[in-house]
Structure 1
Amino acid sequence: MCETCQNAEHNKNVTRKARPIRVESPWEVLGLDIHGPFPETSQSNTHVLLVTDYFTKWVEAVPLQKKDPFSVAKALATLFYRFGASKNIYTSQSWDFCEEVSRHLCERWNISQLLTPTDPTDPPSPGDCSAEVLRSSICSVVNEKPSEWDAHLDPVLFEFRTSVNSATKYSPFFLMFNRYVCLSSEVDFVKDSKEQGAGSDKVDGLPPFTATVQEQQNAVKEIVISNMTTACKRERKGVKRKSRGLPSVAFKVEDNVFRGSTASSLKKLKKGQFVSFQIETVLPPEQSMSGGKKTS
């Protein structure tokens, strides 16, 4: 039994007091919900795994063929390989279910992740109704596309991630990646940032965490640009240095381009193996009148 499973077994009989969950950074604490069963799609999916970040309200939706611990662990492993593991995951599933998921993550993917059961009636955070809105949107897609609803989740998630959250006053995408996003290549980023920013009068005001991250990001951005410029200059110098070492070769008309034993090997070719092509000789202006074409 790994350390994560031991911690889960130790806390199994501890009565959890209902209290708000404090989070201070993205992907620190997650919420896990499984919705379904829905009509089976062509990919045999019947459930949806929703993973919500408590800080940014970023949501991942993964279609599942089965509502079992292994399928959930496999979906979580895919997310963790992209975003990393979190400090804890709260879910409405039972202790046995949580222990099985943790065990599969530990034994099969070598990922240590703790899952903690919660009361299904506990809201993710005070004053946040975004989870219910997302569930309604997914149900609408299921009703409209009963046989292929799993292929239409991305547009729903994009709309949710880029909308201003009622609790944070920012979009999940901005809090997760500290930048704004849209689906148009021709966009005024200044105007777009104001539209996707805080839904109050203080559009330019940023929370302390976001302001600190933005300062660090700007500093790193300058370093990256400097490093890329240096690498580009170094590559150009290397190309020039290699070109200087190459011998200069000039050919004249009727010179033998093929050297060595190539000329002798051509004599062994049959008549039908020769290919005819035209060679156009370009002469200086004063000799252009006497120019012509040769065929070999």
Structure 2
Amino acid sequence: MIDLNFLPPAPDSAPNNLGGTVAEIVLNNPRSLNALNSADIAELSAVLSRAAEEKPRALLLRGEGKGFCAGRNIKGLDPREDDATAFLATEVTPLLKQIDDFPAPTFAAVHGPCLGVGLGLALACDVVYVAEDASFGSPFGNLGATLDSGGHSLFVERLGTHRTMDLIITGELISGLEAVRAGLFSKALPAAELVEFSRETARRAARGATLSYLASRALVQDLRDHGVGLWSSVEAENIVQGKLCSTEDYLEGFAAFNAKRTPHFKGA
């Protein structure tokens, strides 16, 4: 089950600050640690589309129960009849791209197991906050399978080849605290504080100049996906900055700075 809620703006939001709504999507099948099968993935995709139609200013993705998402739900799956490539290429990858392209800043609040497809969901978000006792890794060798959903790219880029292969071969899981110290994710928090911290941060983002955040996301994605060099990135930044100059939020930000008041952004 996938739940969709809309969090109201924070009580201290200025009355003329348009929007400010945060869409919160909750993976809500705690009995399976929110593992996803094909039907769940289709439902999550539909919920993401419904959320986008409401034009929220930020999105928060989290899981209910003891874990964020333990990966693919393989209960009752007959491997002799399973087309793993089709499942990943036609169901999982489009879902991850849908999150990657969501028309507002995206946040993941990750606790407990975050593996396989679950790791991919987190990776597709702009910002990932994790509980100190969250767990990440690649235990899939125990199934004769391998890491998927972008896990190799993440681990090699940020942990290096040797630590990546160590995790894959041993099946060891690392904690959220260790993952953040290694540069995998944004911030680690006590589990009891994770959801409210993530919600408040998403609310603050929703009050911000979200159009500029999305412009930065596009630049970051270009660096991530194409590995453009320094000066190509500088040139792209120059162009984007020029485009932002003509937006209402840019004018409002400068006006508020000069008037020494809080800006009231319209956002994307």
Interval of TM-score (by shorter of Structure 1 and Structure 2):
under 0.3
The answer to which structure, 1 or 2, has the higher relative contact order (CA under 8 A, 6+ apart) is 2
Q: Which has the higher helix share?
A: 2
Greater Cα radius of gyration, structure 1 or 2: 1
**TM-score, with normalisation over the residues of structure 2?**
0.27
TM-score by length of 1: 0.25
